[in-house]
Amino acid sequence: MSQMLEILQKEKVVAIFRNIEDQYADQAAEALLAGGITMMEITMNTEGAAGMISRWRDKYGDQASIGAGTVLDLDMAKEAVAAGSQFLISPNLDEAVVDYGLKKGVSVWPGVMTPTEIVRAWKSGAEAVKVFPMGTLGWKYLAEIRAPLDKIPMMATGGVDLDNIADYFKAGVCAVGMGSKLVNLDWVRSGRFDLLTDKARQFAEAAKSL
């Protein structure tokens, strides 16, 4: 097991920063850190993503794990790793990205939905997978596919909230990816970083208690 997978299984929550403006990004990261969320994913379709990843590795590298999300292909993977990403997360499975991560020593957690995709990702060398979109599929779907595929670490992204996070962990996930429920851009843009910290604390405490 890689060090990053160990951290994922210990921390249990990945904060997803998508389309955040650069001017607010550092304050938002610091607000989440204050609430106990230490795994941060900046999606590659966010303007200036590579620059943010690089800056956060310098600023928060001793207290947070910084990775890239929405890594759709090999070119994006190369850009993210060059910026200092410690992990790569995708909505899709691209074996070239998994292979590149293996060669570079960077954890890759590809997006999958069906049992066939999950096993294919595992056989291609992915140490864990992201089951997506959970907002539509729901934790019961996850519980069903975990039964025969219980050896493959899975994180759930989409649809997770405080009222159902326990269901996802009972269904067998090792972690959850949290986007707008955690990184609320309305709060960010109105300077309510205290609300981000409160929400981060609630999710961190809920996940750690499970």
Instruction: Give tens-digit pLDDT for 17-39.
Output: 999 999 999 999 999 999 999 99
Out of 130, 140, 170, 205, the active site residue is 130
State the chain's mean pLDDT as an integer: 97
Rounded-to-integer distance, Cα 122 and Cα 202, Å: 32
The average pLDDT across 145-160 equals 97
What are the tens digits of pLDDT across the range 40-83? 999 999 999 999 999 999 999 999 999 999 999 999 999 999 99
**Domains of the chain (ranges plus CATH)?**
3-202 (3.20.20.70)
Give percent of the chain with pLDDT exceeding 90. Answer: 99
Name the active-site residue from 41, 47, 79, 117.
41
CB 174 within 8 A of CB 155: yes
Task: Please provide residue 43's backbone torsions phi and psi, each rounded to the nearest 5 degrees.
Answer: -75, 145
Quote the CA–CA distance of 197 and 37 in Å, as a whole number.
9
Asked if 171 and 163 touch (Cβ cutoff 8 Å), the reply is no
What is the model's pLDDT at position 151? Answer: 97
Active-site residue 144, yes or no?
Answer: no
Residue 41 annotated in active site: yes
Dihedral sign for Cα atoms in the order 28, 21, 190, 185: negative
The reported pLDDT for the residue numbered 1 is 87
Model-level pTM?
0.97
